[in-house]
């Protein structure tokens, strides 16, 4: 920008300098403002710098003035908050490496350049398995749009086969679903929606959805969804896919109280039955995934009631013990 031009925008450049170059540890003097304005081809003087700072304060910006200079006080996000957000972005398996880097850079631009250097040093990209499906970022947006419009979505749904290739379900025929909620569980996004063909609520992995379209059709299933406690749905179905929902009594070792609360929430009642055990009554989807969760605690959790669930679990364990390669085996963990 030629010298002398841009005076009308000087106050905006003052704000830009405050945002990018100042913080509590790095206040700027009037002379430093003047020097930095020169980089933009704008002349400045002490009186006009102080006047611009006062205008920005009157407008509502949190500008702190000290004997050492002025700096931007509160920001939209503080450094510790942004570190948490970035860690969440980098930990999310559904966000690709490329998109993680883009979001991290955008978040870092909300800091001063001094904080940005510390921010970069603090961020450690861990060796996590990230999604290869870039479209999930836009799938989530499309689903939010459909929920806001109370419309339906259509999509194809894909799964991995034994050759490590993604193949479409239903021979590539499109699903049509009325979306009601997006849930986050076990580092994955799920769409919870009503499928008219099946006449029930279902959930779908968002990263397995392709070519998602919002269609101009009013969504269905409001009556069913309104009766469904979404938190209960999450506890009953996620990581325990499919199966009949049943009230089950479990006998659990005291050392696993934390695991039970993590799984079913803080509202569950832990009733002591022995010195080292308690009973807990929970609603679950009785399935191989539920039985697999119980088995993972190596006998420290016992299914007490109802009898049919206990017998079904016993039958599954016997089938696993009698497994042989000719018989084909039993897939305990065949979740979505």
Interval 145-161: pLDDT, tens: 999 999 999 999 988 76
- pTM of the model as a whole: 0.54
Question: Do 151 and 88 fall within a single domain?
Answer: no
Question: Do 28 and 90 fall within a single domain?
Answer: no
Question: Do 267 and 317 fall within a single domain?
Answer: yes
pLDDT of amino acid 325? 44
Residue 335 lies in a domain: no
Question: Do 11 and 51 fall within a single domain?
Answer: yes
Residue 159 lies in a domain: yes
Tokens 């990230």, residue located = 130
**Looking at the predicted structure, is the pLDDT value of residue 239 above 60?**
no
Residue 283 lies in a domain: yes
| Average pLDDT of the residues in 178-198 | 85
Report the CATH number at residue 194.
Answer: 2.30.30
Residue 111 lies in a domain: yes
Question: Do 140 and 222 fall within a single domain?
Answer: yes
Residue 142 lies in a domain: yes
pLDDT of amino acid 8? 65
pLDDT tens, residue by residue, 110-137: 777 777 766 654 455 454 556 556 677 7
Q: How far apart are CA 232 and CA 327, in angstroms?
A: 37
Number of domains composing the chain: 4
pLDDT category at 330 given cuts 50, 70, 90 is: very low
Question: Do 248 and 317 fall within a single domain?
Answer: yes
Among 27-31, 128-132, 263-267, where is mean pLDDT lowest? 128-132
pLDDT of amino acid 294? 92
Domain that holds residue 298: 237-321
| Average pLDDT of the residues in 306-320 | 91
């Amino acid at each position: 920008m030629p010298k002398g031009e841009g005076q009308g925008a000087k106050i905006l450049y003052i704000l830009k300098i405050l945002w990018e170059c100042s913080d509590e540890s790095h206040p700027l003097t009037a002379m430093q403002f003047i020097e930095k304005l020169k980089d933009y081809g704008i002349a400045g003087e002490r009186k006009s710098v102080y006047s611009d700072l006062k205008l920005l304060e009157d407008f509502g910006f949190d500008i702190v003035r000290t004997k050492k200079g002025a700096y931007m006080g509160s920001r939209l996000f503080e450094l510790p908050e942004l570190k948490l957000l970035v860690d969440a972005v980098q930990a999310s398996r559904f966000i690709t490496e490329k998109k993680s880097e883009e979001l991290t850079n955008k978040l870092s631009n909300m800091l001063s350049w001094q904080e940005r250097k510390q921010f970069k040093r603090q961020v450690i990209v861990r060796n996590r398995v990230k999604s290869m499906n870039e479209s999930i970022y836009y799938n989530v947006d499309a689903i939010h749009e459909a929920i806001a419009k109370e419309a339906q979505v259509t999509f194809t749904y894909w799964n991995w086969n034994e050759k490590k290739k993604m193949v479409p379900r239903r021979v590539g025929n499109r699903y049509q679903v009325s979306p009601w909620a997006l849930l986050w569980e076990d580092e994955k996004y799920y769409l919870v929606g009503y499928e008219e063909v099946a006449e029930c609520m279902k959930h779908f992995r968002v990263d397995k959805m392709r070519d998602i379209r919002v269609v101009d059709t009013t969504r269905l299933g409001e009556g069913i969804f309104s009766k469904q406690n979404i938190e209960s749905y999450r506890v009953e179905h996620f990581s325990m896919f499919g199966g009949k929902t049943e009230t089950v009594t479990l006998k659990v070792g005291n050392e696993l109280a934390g695991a039970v609360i993590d799984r079913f929430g803080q509202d569950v009642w832990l009733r002591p039955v022995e010195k080292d055990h308690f009973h807990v009554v929970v609603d679950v989807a009785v399935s191989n995934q539920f039985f697999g969760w119980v088995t993972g605690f190596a006998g420290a959790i016992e299914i007490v009631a109802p009898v049919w669930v206990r017998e079904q679990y016993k039958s599954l364990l016997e089938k696993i013990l009698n497994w042989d390669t000719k018989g084909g085996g039993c897939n305990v963990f065949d979740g979505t």
